[in-house]
Structure 1
Amino acid sequence: MVVDAEAADDDDRTFYTPGEVHLAIEVVSPESEDRDRKTKPFRYAEAGIPHFWRVENNNGSPVVHVYELDPATRAYSLTGIHHDHLTVPVPFVRVTDFDSDGGRGLLLVEAMATAWGTHHDPEAGTAVWFHLPTNETNRTDGPGSLSS
Structure 2
Amino acid sequence: MLVLMLCASCVKGIKLPESRIEFVSVAETKGSPFLDLRFSSKTNLLTFFKSNTGEDQLGEALICSLDQNVAFERRQDLPRYLEGEMVEVGGPGPGQDGKHIYSARLFAMQTPDGGTSSTFIPKAQLLEVLRGQDSLACRVFTSSYSYGGYYSNSMNVPAVEVVRAIE
The TM tier, using the shorter chain, reads under 0.3
TM-score by length of 1: 0.27
TM-score by length of 2: 0.25
Identify the structure with bigger relative contact order (alpha carbons < 8 Å, sequence gap 6+). 2
Report which of the two structures shows the higher radius of gyration computed on alpha carbons.
Answer: 2
